[in-house]
Structures are given as C-alpha cells and as structure tokens.
Amino acid sequence: MAWTLARRAHAMNPSVIREVLKLTERPGIISFAGGLPSPKTFPVDAFAESCARVLREDGQVALQYSASEGLPLLREQVAAMLPWPVDPAQVLITTGSQQGLDLVAKILIDPGSRVLVEDPTYLGALQAFAPMEPQVEGVPGDDEGVDLQALRRVARAGAAPRMLYLLPNFQNPTGRLMSEARRQALVQAAQELDLPLIEDNPYGELWFDAPPPAPLSARRPEGCIYLGSFSKVLSPGLRLGYLIAPAALYPKLLQAKQAADLHTPSFNQRMVADVLRDGFLDRHVPGIRALYKAQRDAMLAALEREMTGLGLEWNRPAGGMFLWARLPRGMDATELLPLAVERGVAFVPGAPFHAGESDPRTLRLSFVTATREQIATGIARLAQAIRAYPLRQAA
C-alpha cells in the first residue's frame, strides 16, 4: 500500500534532543541533556488530597467533557496570577503550552510566511511551526536579548513577518533574561514595525534573586499572545498550560483548539484549580527557586573548579533550568558528545537550537535533575572529554 504523505508531514522533523536523550539512557550516565523539571518539586501530597476531593465532591462533572475555553475557575485563577490586568475571557486553557505554540502556528502561518525567532531558540517551537511551512529567520542577540538593529534589518528584509517568537525569561536553551531596557526598546520597535509578538514564559517564576521585569504582554496586550504553563511550577505530566490572546484573535484560537482536542482534560483542570486555592503557589514555588539556585551554584562551582585552562565559556543564568556554554575555537559540541558519553556524561549540543547560522561550539547544560554530587562528577567527566578532544582529532 503506497501512502502519500502531505507536504506538511514532510516538514515534520524528529526532535534532535530525543535522539540525544536515547544516548543518555545507558546506566551510569550523568545527564545534563534533558529538559525535565526535578521530580522532587512535584507536590504529590497536595495532588493526592485534591484528587480525592475532586472525585468525592465533583466526580461526575470532573469526568465529563467540558468547555473548550477551559474551566471557568481555572481561567479566573490564571488571570489573577498574571502581573497585568487580564480578563478571564481572554484566557484559553491549553494542553501544555506546547499546544499553545501549535494553535498559534495554525492560525498565523501560511506556507512561506516569514516567522522571526531569537537565535538560538526553543526547539519545540521550531517543531510546532514547521508543519505550517514557514520561512523561519533567526534574529541574533546578546546577553540582554534580541539585537534591535538586527531585528529591524531582518523584519524589513521581505514581506511583513507574521510574528516574532520570544522567550524573555530564562530562555530555553540559553538561560538568558531580557533586561528591562531591552524590553522597553523591543516593544517600541515591535510597535514601529507593526510586528505581532508571541511571548512564551514557562520559566518566569523560577527566578533566583529577583523577579524578572514585567512581561512584554503587559506593555502591549493588543500586540502579543502570551503563553504560560503549569509544567515547571506544578507538574509537566498534567499537560496544563494557557494562553492569553487579544479579543480579536481568541475565537480563531478557540476553533483551532476545538479541532485539535475539544478541550484540555477536565479532571486535570479541576485538580489544579483545587490545588491552587489558598495561594498554594506562593508557598510552593519558593522551594523550587531555592533548590534550582543551589543546583545552579553547584554547577557554576564545578565549572570554575574543573574547566580552568580549557577555554570553555559559560553564562550565569539568573533563573530557569539551563546554562549555556561555548567550547574553544575549533571544537564542535556534536563531535564532543560521544567522547562525553563514553566518559559517562551527556549534554545537548547547541547547533539544532539555531534557526539561522548555527554555532557548533555551543552546548546546553540542565542543572536541575542531577544531584549536586552528580553535578560535580559530571562536570569533571565533561572536562576529561574536552581534554581528550584535541588528542582524538590529532590521532
């Protein structure tokens, strides 16, 4: 039987990270490769209580189909959590923020549409956009965010882009935080360019010393779609996210959502709405911040200790889950990976995160799932792999 695939199916790619993760499943490997939150942060007891209460008090409704917009109580809770005035009618509960990316892509991208992204950017967004066959263009940046001169140049270099996709807070993969000054200037530039912004913010609550500056959406609500998630503050297994859309776009996003899955699981929504009562996140999230900060510090200390003289450069993320590093000139992170895995440590090479010109020297290290002892051992192993690299190249 000869199946003929649609063009959009040809545009779909396997996630490079999944391929890397397969490598890390070998016993004894210390993995800095994954993008998973630490399971130690999952509030299992709170969910056990809420699960029982929802079934006891509301079981038949919780197990029934429900509205595509989401549970009214949860939509109110989400609106109240956000740091700018949001009408609950603008909140669409999604099946993870990954679904938000898919819905946005479906309603905004035609084949050949120009889509701008930070370079590097979140691989899962590139995967969500790819089936709509956009022309994706990367905008380079520095430690503070996208470079606005480059943005103006790229935006004006062809047909009006349909959107600019941004991660202002503790970006995946770089861990970078967009500064207040850059946010102001970016919103100004987006206004001038009439450029729609998609603001993806799964990591914003995971700050270590100070909360991040106000979201772009707070400054330009009519020109932004905001994506949020419960994955990093409660649990990714629930698949619960949300988007905040301007009133003019909301009906189309809702129709796309209905076509995709009718609604996000009613039961999960009720459980989370129950868990969130009485300010649960205000008590729970500080523990995640403290844990991740200690883990980041352990990784920074290990890098200082082990990498002296090896020419590796790295940043100091102020929140989130990832640290971004750059190998010395002449080295390629994809080629380093097998040497690292042989020595019992794994990371994700940075190249696939780049939409534009790829930098083979970059790599992403997650500091949240390994223990502090494993971080120390894993970074020492990584240093051994880096030392072995030139020898192997010369052989």
The CB-nearest residue to ligand PLP is 96
Q: Write down the least CB distance from residue 174 to ligand PLP, Å.
A: 11
From first CA to last CA, the distance across the chain in angstroms is: 49
Listed ranges 94-102, 183-191, 209-217, 259-267: which one lies at the site for ligand PLP (CB under 6 A)? 94-102
Among 134, 141, 221, 241, contact with ligand PLP (rule: CB under 6 A) = 241
The DSSP annotation for 46-73 comes to HHHHHHHHHHHHHHHHHTS---TT--HH
Under the criterion CB under 6 A, does residue 221 sit at the interface with ligand PLP?
Answer: no
216 closest CA partner among 207, 204, 208: 204
Under the criterion CB under 6 A, does residue 264 sit at the interface with ligand PLP?
Answer: no
8 closest CA partner among 94, 124, 112, 163: 112
Under the criterion CB under 6 A, does residue 229 sit at the interface with ligand PLP?
Answer: yes
Residue with Cβ nearer ligand PLP (100 or 221)? 100
Under the criterion CB under 6 A, does residue 96 sit at the interface with ligand PLP?
Answer: yes
Helices (H), 63-178: 72-81, 96-108, 123-129, 148-155
Listed ranges 90-98, 273-281, 289-297, 341-349: which one lies at the site for ligand PLP (CB under 6 A)? 90-98
Tokens describing residue 348 = 């994700």
Under the criterion CB under 6 A, does residue 366 sit at the interface with ligand PLP?
Answer: no
Q: Which amino acid is at 93?
A: I
121 contacts 165 by C-beta, under 8 angstroms: yes
Under the criterion CB under 6 A, does residue 70 sit at the interface with ligand PLP?
Answer: no
H or E segment to which residue 94 belongs: strand 91-94
Residue with Cβ nearer ligand PLP (34 or 140)? 34
Q: Do you find a cis peptide bond into 211, omega within 30 degrees of 0? A: no
Listed ranges 46-54, 59-67, 228-236, 340-348: which one lies at the site for ligand PLP (CB under 6 A)? 228-236
Among 35, 120, 145, 168, contact with ligand PLP (rule: CB under 6 A) = 35
Residue with tokens 């076509």: 259
Hey, CA dihedral for 122, 123, 124, 130, is it positive or negative? positive
Residue with Cβ nearer ligand PLP (241 or 344)? 241
Q: Is 21 exposed, middle or buried (0-12, 13-18, 19+ CB in 10 A)?
A: middle
102 closest CA partner among 218, 216, 231, 241: 241
Q: Write down the least CB distance from residue 36 to ligand PLP, Å.
A: 8
Under the criterion CB under 6 A, does residue 124 sit at the interface with ligand PLP?
Answer: yes
Q: Which residues within the stretch 293-312 sit at the binding site for ligand PLP (CB under 6 A)?
A: none
- Binding residues for ligand PLP, rule: CB under 6 A, are 35, 96-98, 122, 124, 167, 172, 200, 202, 229, 231, 236, 241
